[in-house]
Structure formats: C-alpha cells, structure tokens
Amino acid sequence: MSQPLYVQLSQQLGYLAWPLFICAFLGLLIVLERLALVISEQLTRDTWLTDLRQQSLGATPVKRQQLIISLNQGHSMLARGTALLLIHAEQHKTMREEIVNLWLLKQKEKLQSGLRVLQIIGIITPLLGLLGTVLGLIEMFHQLGLSNGPVTPSQLATGLGLAMNTTAAGLIIAVPAITMAHLLTLWADRRCNKMAHALNQLNLWLDGLDQALNIGVDAPAQLSQTPTSPTKINNDSSSCDVEVN
C-alpha cells in the first residue's frame, strides 16, 4: 500500500520538511490573494471616467453630485479615490492634493501587502535547501564512518537523497515566489501611477479646467488647453504622490 504524498515528502526532506511546507503554504496563500485582487481590479472597469472625458463638462455642483452617485456603485480603488476627492471639492486645491496623497499612500500599502513576505520566502527557502544539503552530507559521512567494509550505494543513498531533495524543494518554492513578488510589485506600481494620474486630472477639472481630463489621453486636447499651474505625477515607481510645481 502506497503512502500518502505528504508522508513521502516528509521522509525525503527529513527535518526540513515542515519549514519548507510552511513556506510553500504561506507563499501560495499570498499569491492567490494578490491574484484575486488583480483580477477584481481588472474586471472592474472605470467606464464613468471614459464617459466623463468624452463629455468634457464643467465641474458644476450638479455634475459633481451626479458623479458621486455614480461612483457609489463602483468598487474599484480609483472610484473610491475620486469619491473622496469630490467630497472635498470645496476645499482649496492644495488641501485636496494633501488628502489624495494620504489616500494614495494607503492604497499603495494595500496593493503591496504581503509582497515583502513573499520576497522573504523566496530568500529563506534556498537557504533551507542549502541547510538540507549540509545535513544530508553529514548523514552520509556518518553512515560511512559506521561502516568497516567497502562503500556501497545504499550507504550513500540516504544522505545524498536528503541533500538533493531539500535543495530542489527550496528552489521549487523560491523561484515562483520571487517571480510573483516582482511581477505583482510592478503591477501595484503601475496601478498606483495610473490612479495618481487620473486623480491629478480630476483635481484640475474641479478647478475649472474642463480639458484636464484629456491630458495625456488626447493630444489635440493638450494643445488646445489654456496654460495653468499644472499638477504632475512623480514618475518614480516608488511614489504615488501628487506634486505641485
């Protein structure tokens, strides 16, 4: 009768089986949770922003109220950020930027939640594999030391098996963990920068620049807009702040 898979792995990985299992389990949970967030953000289309850009209507109190009602039906991060901006529409532009900056920092933390742990798992598991290699070699030399006769393959099998299996298991866990951590970090930075750009446009729109929503989207609109004191995004992927020149 064959043994369960986890029993076979425990025998092959020795003392390091449970640490490697825990790292693999935590890494899988983090990746699945982050992928669920990515899918939910991709499926939630901000069609209201496209409609607003096409209309190019002024930011009247009636229009702002209609937009808040429309945003209450959305679940994307950008929709929530825009609703926050509209709620404080009566504040000075500088104050609105400070409010949005704080909100963006909080959203960046949410987007990158768990990714540090995933990177740590990607660093720890190869070290656990290396530790298994050392323990396997120690076991092999111990078996050789107990033998007075010639060396046989069976004496080498246990120690070398532990050494190779733990190394392979550590790399199998580490490579996907590090890869997904970097890919999800890139997605989080890109999503955060897009939200910052859209909120910059909406902030100018609230100040009366109707064509602000087409900045960076429609080249002719950029040429036709009147000079203002622009609000720009810091393109550094490590920041999502709204900055004022």
47 vs 106, residue with greater confidence:
106
Mean residue pLDDT of the chain comes to 78
Tell me the pLDDT tens digit for each residue of 27-49: 999 999 999 999 988 877 777 77
Mean pLDDT of 69-76: 74
- pLDDT at position 179 is 96
Termini Cα distance of the chain: 74
Which residues make beta-bridge pairs with 232? 243
The pTM is what?
0.74
Out of 25-29, 110-114, 116-120, least confident range: 110-114
DSSP-assigned states of every residue in 155-201: HHHHHHHHHHHHHHHHHHHHHHHHHHHHHHHHHHHHHHHHHHHHHHH
Mean pLDDT of 176-197: 93
- Kindly tell me if the per-residue pLDDT of 230 is higher than 50: no
**Helix residue ranges, H only, 4-89:** 5-13, 17-43, 47-55, 61-71, 77-87
| Strand, coil or helix: 232 | strand
- pLDDT at position 228 is 42
